[in-house]
Amino acid sequence: MRKAVADLHAELVRYNLVAWTAGNVSGRIPGEDLFVIKPSGVSYDELTPENMVVCDLDGNLVEGEHSPSSDTAAHAYVYRNMPDVGGVVHTHSTYASAWAARGEAIPCVLTAMADEFGGEIPIGPFALIGDDSIGQGIVETLKGHRSKAVLMRNHGVFSIGKDPKAAVKAAVMCEDVARTVHVARQLGEPLPIPQDDIDRLYDRYQNVYGQRSPR
Amino acid sequence: MRKAVADLHAELVRYNLVAWTAGNVSGRIPGEDLFVIKPSGVSYDELTPENMVVCDLDGNLVEGEHSPSSDTAAHAYVYRNMPDVGGVVHTHSTYASAWAARGEAIPCVLTAMADEFGGEIPIGPFALIGDDSIGQGIVETLKGHRSKAVLMRNHGVFSIGKDPKAAVKAAVMCEDVARTVHVARQLGEPLPIPQDDIDRLYDRYQNVYGQRSPR
Amino acid sequence: MRKAVADLHAELVRYNLVAWTAGNVSGRIPGEDLFVIKPSGVSYDELTPENMVVCDLDGNLVEGEHSPSSDTAAHAYVYRNMPDVGGVVHTHSTYASAWAARGEAIPCVLTAMADEFGGEIPIGPFALIGDDSIGQGIVETLKGHRSKAVLMRNHGVFSIGKDPKAAVKAAVMCEDVARTVHVARQLGEPLPIPQDDIDRLYDRYQNVYGQRSPR
Amino acid sequence: MRKAVADLHAELVRYNLVAWTAGNVSGRIPGEDLFVIKPSGVSYDELTPENMVVCDLDGNLVEGEHSPSSDTAAHAYVYRNMPDVGGVVHTHSTYASAWAARGEAIPCVLTAMADEFGGEIPIGPFALIGDDSIGQGIVETLKGHRSKAVLMRNHGVFSIGKDPKAAVKAAVMCEDVARTVHVARQLGEPLPIPQDDIDRLYDRYQNVYGQRSPR
């Protein structure tokens, strides 16, 4: 899990989701009340399985020489309150954060959005760092929602998944559709996809398609 | 052909046409009713000639350890119905998909578009994955059309060519002109190119110029 | 310090802040009235600790085979007038320079901006190269201001920090937020963050958070 | 010269000025009525000093196994009619081509534009490939103009320089300022720079500054 989490940060860099050190991935350790997360203040080039840190579900450092990411409390809150979540990702990726700055959900006007998110990508509340506000905002918004990503108002994106790789995929796809829908809307109104078709696409992608192998 | 198709996926990555695994290249095996296509759920870094899969023209797996791409039915339909096509590419590249989300064809306002596409890049219908709808939409739109690329509504791009390399070139050029015309229109109306000049440019590029060597 | 300054130019390239040779980093030599700066006319690939040049606080060349950067006078003026500054960076990064071309400050509508800049990123005056005008404009604007970056009108960005790395971080974050706020405003008005919350975020990031380790 | 021209194509790729094979660099051989240019249909990865081709000033192939670039006639016309030009570059770079598609000159609202181009970057006529029309359009527009780059209507950019490196620099800077001014204008009107100041900046950059060393 340390290696998986360390390596997945390279995907954030590859897809241009992060500037400097402003983004992080965590992964729940299966069968234990612990998760692995990025250390604070370490650049993406320097991440190794060894310098990743381990925290308990209250966000307390259990193992590691560095402090955990400053976003650890939000990750911990999600693991505590969403037992099926095995991975969490946070970024300030440009297009998704722009929707977040306006407080606008991304409408589902692409089949790839219907597949991955099952509809719109929702907006979470404005919340300050320092206590459980951000975690609460994420959980309130995503619990029972099809979307695996939430746009936290004036802040950025949190995404979840059954494991850290799925959460990273959701973060990558979130920025990809945020950008495409933004570009589409710059020159007019994108055509809506009927709700029935969104449901059919989502159902197929999550079930029929998923039974064979991950895409 | 396995090696050619495997290698050409690197061009999709290099030109930023794909996020995660959302894009695929296929190539008809000359003289046989078979084509090579990307396996499903394998990342671009891991593609090798060996793990590419071979399908018949109904999209059934003939050779390979992985399932074929979830877009295989659309590729197969094109090969079945357009005998001159030797390569097919599918992407959700950002700018082309943005035109597709609005259901708008890209007008021919660049000489490079006249050269490569002979006019506008057309819009195909909205179609759900799961049967031949997507394939039919591609073939209906491109049969008899100069353009080698079609923008499938609310979805993305399919491009065709005499071989997989030509189809990849069409996919790259489609995104390039989709971006340039988008940017041009953000600040006003691009100047039209008279139809006569479009015809002359297309004719020259496909004939006079093409007789010597591929560009 | 020569090595630190030489290496940090690679971050300007990595984050796409510079075209050709149009950007430079400098660093004050601790305890001396000297600073290290990029040589003029040397490409980023060719920078080494050895070819960096050393200047006194009037911008005169003290050590080095090349002329110092053509922006040396502005760097020198900052070091002379802001004794706490240990690093200065100059770029023409696209989005920040676009705000500068309109003479508009970047409003603080992202929590990352509140953290790093403590509010808006201000506009400095139009100033010609050749004397102390640019340096004066930077110092006038940033002295007593929370922001570590200034958008010089019709020109580009200057950023400062306690050392060259902090100044590079400010330059990277400045372009990142310039881009995100630009994109947000393309489709509507970003939501404001209340001043109290900006103050709380800035205070926490600079103090509580900063006491443990740099992010 | 073969090596210089071959290597400079890598800068077109590095700065994202070209898609597929749509861009080329040439360089006059000092003291001879000959120039080196990119071969047609060879990808940028495969360019070597050996496969570059040599043409006379009428654009006829003098040395080389490949056909010269399909844009050779335009390069040749420039060398024939502008004896001080030692390098020519052609691209379809996105932002510059977008201005060209609207037939709009790029206004000089950045000090970097005043430095490098001495004012606006002008528009050349619409011209078809196949005879001297493109070359004539370039020469008519740039002869006696400060700008080293011209936006050919509905087409792309040609830039010139005393040698191929200077022409590549002009192509890189042209796209850089085309992008920044585009972005600036998306959200309002950039502030003008007074003509006197443009003149002063241009004069300094070309003379005082130039006497010491290239930037």
Contacts of C211 (CB under 8 A, 6+ apart): none
Residue A209 is predicted with a pLDDT of 56
b/e per residue C81-97 (b: at least 16 CB within 10 A): bbeebbbbbbbbbbbbb
C interface residues, D as partner, C-beta within 8 Å: 19-22, 40-41, 66-67, 70, 92, 94-95, 97-99, 101-104, 126, 128-130, 153-156, 182, 185-186
Chain C residues closer than 8 Å to A190 by CB: none
Q: Tell which residue, C78, C70, C17, has the closest CA to residue C44.
A: C17
Task: Give chains near B: 3+ CB pairs under 8 A.
Answer: A, D
Q: Please say whether the beta carbons of C118 and C54 come within 8 A.
A: no
Beta bridge partners of B149: B159
A contact set with C (CB within 8 A): 19-22, 40-41, 66-67, 70, 92, 94-95, 97-99, 101-104, 126, 128-130, 153-156, 182, 185-186
Looking at chain C, list the stretches that DSSP marks H as alpha helix, in order from N- to C-terminal side: 2-14, 72-81, 94-102, 111-117, 133-142, 164-186, 195-206, 208-212
Give the residue-averaged pLDDT of A76-82.
Answer: 98
| Pair A161, A167: CB distance under 8 Å | yes
Of A56, A115, A132, A199, the catalytic one is: A115
Distance, CA of B130 to CA of C39 (rounded, Å): 61
Maximum separation of any 2 CA atoms in chain C, in Å: 52
Residue D87 in contact with residue D166, Cβ under 8 Å? Answer: yes
Give me the phi and psi of C89, to 5 degrees please.
-130, 140
CA distance A125 to chain C (A): 12
CB B114 within 8 A of CB B201: yes
Q: How is the beta sheet containing C23-28 ordered, strand by strand?
A: C61-63, C53-56, C34-37, C23-28, C87-91, C156-161, C149-152, C123-124
**pLDDT value at residue C211:** 39
Alpha-carbon span C108 to C119, nearest angstrom = 5
Helix (H, G, I), strand (E, B) or coil at B34: strand
Euclidean distance between CA atoms D2 and D33, whole angstroms: 15
Q: What pLDDT, on a 0 to 100 scale, did the predictor assign at position A41?
A: 87
Q: Which of D20, D101, D186 sits opposite B184 (nearest CB)?
A: D101
CA distance B158 to A144: 35
The count of CB pairs under 8 A between chains C and D is: 89
Quick one: average pLDDT of A51-77?
96
Counting Cβ atoms within 10 Å, is residue B125 exposed (0-12), middle (13-18) or buried (19+)? Answer: middle
Nearest CB to C172; choose among A20, A41, A104: A20
Instruction: Determine whether the interchain pair D179/C94 forms a contact, defined as Cβ–Cβ distance below 8 Å.
Output: yes
Number of A to B CB contacts under 8 A, please give it.
89
First to last CA, chain B: 22
Residue B77: helix, strand or coil by DSSP? helix
Residue B213: its pLDDT value, please? 42
Flag if C169 and A101 touch (Cβ within 8 Å).
Answer: no
Strand partners, C99: none
Q: Which two tokens stand for residue A75?
A: 């990750």
Backbone angles phi, psi at D167, to 5 degrees: -70, -35
Q: Would you call A112 and B22 a contact, using CB atoms and an 8 Å cutoff? A: yes
How large is the average pLDDT for residues A122-144?
Answer: 96
Find the range with the poorest average confidence among A33-37, C132-136, D181-185, D210-214.
D210-214
What is the distance between the alpha carbons of residues C83 and D197, in angstroms, rounded to a whole number?
32
Alpha-carbon separation of residue C106 from A16, A134, C110, C117, C180 (angstroms): 22, 25, 11, 11, 10
Burial of B45 (0-12, 13-18, 19+ CB in 10 A): exposed
Contact A130 C173 (CB under 8 A): no
CA distances, C90 to each of A206, B34, C152 (Å): 49, 57, 10
Of A41, A129, A154, the CB nearest to C110: A154
Q: Are B200 and D156 an interchain contact pair (Cβ–Cβ within 8 Å)?
A: no
pLDDT at A214 over 80: no
**Which of C128, C133, C182 to mutate to test binding with chain D, by most D CBs within 10 Å of its CB?**
C128
CB contact at 8 A, D115 and D201: yes
Residues of chain B with Cβ-Cβ distance to A183 below 8 Å are 94-95, 98, 182
Q: What is the pTM of this model?
A: 0.96
* B201/D94 Cβ within 8 A: no
Give the residue among A72, A48, A47, A77 at the shortest CA–CA distance from A62: A72
pLDDT at B215: 37
Tell me: the pLDDT tens digits for A191-213? 999 999 999 999 999 886 543 44
Task: Please name the residue that has the structure tokens 């002008």.
Answer: D122
Question: Distance of alpha carbon C14 from its chain centroid, rounded?
Answer: 16
Residues A161-189: tens digit of each pLDDT: 999 999 999 999 999 999 999 999 999 99
Residue ranges of chain B whose CB lies within 8 Å of a chain A CB: 19-22, 40-41, 66-67, 70, 92, 94-95, 97-99, 101-104, 126, 128-130, 153-156, 182, 185-186
How many C-beta atoms lie closer than 10 Å to residue C60's C-beta? Answer: 10
Cβ-based burial of C207 (10 A; exposed 0-12, middle 13-18, buried ≥19): exposed
Please tell me the distance from the alpha carbon of residue D169 to that of residue B2, in angstroms, as a whole number: 40
Strands D156-161, B61-63: pairing is: unpaired
User: Which band of pLDDT confidence, cut at 50, 70 and 90, is reported for residue A143?
Assistant: very high
CA distance A59 to A74: 8
Helix axes C164-186, C2-14, angle to 10 degrees: 10
Whether residue A21 and residue C215 make contact (CB cut-off 8 A), yes or no, is yes
**Pair of tokens at residue C210:** 């900063």
User: Inter-chain contact D101–B214, Cβ cutoff 8 Å?
Assistant: no
Length of chain B: 215
Instruction: Please say whether the beta carbons of A57 and A29 come within 8 A.
Output: no
* Closest chain B residue to D182, measured at CA: B187
Candidates D56, D115, D163, D199; catalytic one: D115
Nearest-by-CA chain B residue for A108: B154
Using 50, 70 and 90 to split pLDDT, how confident is the model at D212?
A: very low
Q: Which residues contact B194 (CB under 8 A, 6 or more apart)?
A: none
Distance CA A13, CA A36 (A): 19
* Phi, psi angles (nearest 5°) of residue D69: -45, 145
The answer to whether the beta carbons of residues B71 and A79 sit under 8 Å apart is no
d(CA D126, CA C172): 40
- Token representation of residue B143: 């049969």
Mean pLDDT by 10 residues, chain C (215 residues): 95 95 95 96 94 97 95 98 98 98 98 97 96 97 97 98 97 98 98 97 80 41
- In sequence order, the β-bridge partners of residue B28 are B35
Q: Are C159 and C88 in contact (CB under 8 A)?
A: yes
Residue of chain C whose alpha carbon sits nearest to that of D111? C155
CA–CA separation, D42 and D64 (whole Å): 13
Contacts of C143 (CB under 8 A, 6+ apart): C81, C82
Q: Which residue of C has its CA nearest to D115?
A: C129
Tokens read off for C141? 């604007």
| Token output for B96 | 């082309």
Active site positions of C, annotated = 115, 209
Closest chain D residue to B107 measured between Cα atoms?
A: D101
Are the beta carbons of D92 and B189 separated by less than 8 Å? no
Instruction: Give the per-residue pLDDT at B209.
Output: 57
Which residue from D20, D95, D153 is facing B172, i.e. has the nearest CB? D20
Can you tell me the mean pLDDT for D92-104? 98
pLDDT score recorded for residue B207: 82
**Cα of D20 to nearest chain C Cα, Å:** 21
Q: How far is CA C18 from the centre of its chain?
A: 13
B200 to each of C137, D160, D196, how far by Cα in Å? 55, 28, 45
All residue ranges of chain B with pLDDT < 50 are 210-215
Signed CA dihedral, B172, C94, A187, D102: sign only: negative
Q: Please tell me the distance in Å from B87's CA to the nearest CA on chain D.
A: 17
Q: Measure D139 CA to nearest chain B CA, in Å.
A: 20
Q: What would the mean pLDDT of D4-13 be, rounded to a whole number?
A: 96
Contacts of C190 in chain A (CB under 8 A): 98, 101-102, 154
Q: Which tokens in the block code for residue B46?
A: 């891991």
Which residue among B179, B183, B204 sits closest to D130, beta carbon to beta carbon?
Answer: B204
- Mean pLDDT of all residues belonging to chain A: 95
- Would the CB atoms of C129 and D201 count as touching at under 8 Å? yes
ipTM over 0.90: yes
Both tokens of D60, joined, read 């006829």
Torsion sign over Cα B169, B175, B178, B180? negative
Most A-contacting residue of C16, C94, C111, C205 (CB-CB within 10 A), to test interface: C111
Find out whether B215 and D41 touch, Cβ atoms under 8 Å.
Answer: yes
DSSP string, D31-64: TSSEEEEPBTT--GGG--TTT-EEEETT--EEE-
β-pair type (C149-152, A87-91):
unpaired
Q: How far apart are CA A40 and CA A67, in angstroms?
A: 6
Q: DSSP letter at C28?
A: E
For residues C106 and C121, the answer to whether their CB atoms sit within 8 Å is yes
Structure tokens at C20: 């050709």
- The stretch D24-50 carries a mean pLDDT of 96
Nearest C-alpha in D relative to C65: D213
A58 pLDDT above the threshold of 60: yes
Give me the total of CB pairs closer than 8 Å, taking one residue from chain B and one from chain D.
89
Helix (H) or strand (E) holding B109: none
CB contact under 8 A, A94 and C176: yes
Nearest-neighbour CA in chain A from C190: distance (Å): 4
Q: Any idea which residues of B carry the catalytic annotation?
A: 115, 209
Which pLDDT belongs to residue A207?
82
Q: How many residues does chain A have?
A: 215
- Residue C2 and residue B208: Cα distance in Å, rounded? 57
Separation between Cα atoms, residue A126 and residue C193, nearest integer Å: 9
Task: Identify residues of C whose CB sits under 8 angstroms from chain A CBs.
Answer: 15, 109-112, 169, 172-173, 175-176, 179-181, 183-184, 186-191, 193, 197, 200-201, 204, 209, 212-215
- If DSSP codes are grouped into helix, strand and coil, which group holds residue C117? helix
Ranges A18-32, A43-57, C115-129, C199-213: which has the least confidence: C199-213
Q: Which residue of A has its CA nearest to C15?
A: A19
DSSP, collapsed to helix, strand or coil, labels residue B98 as: helix
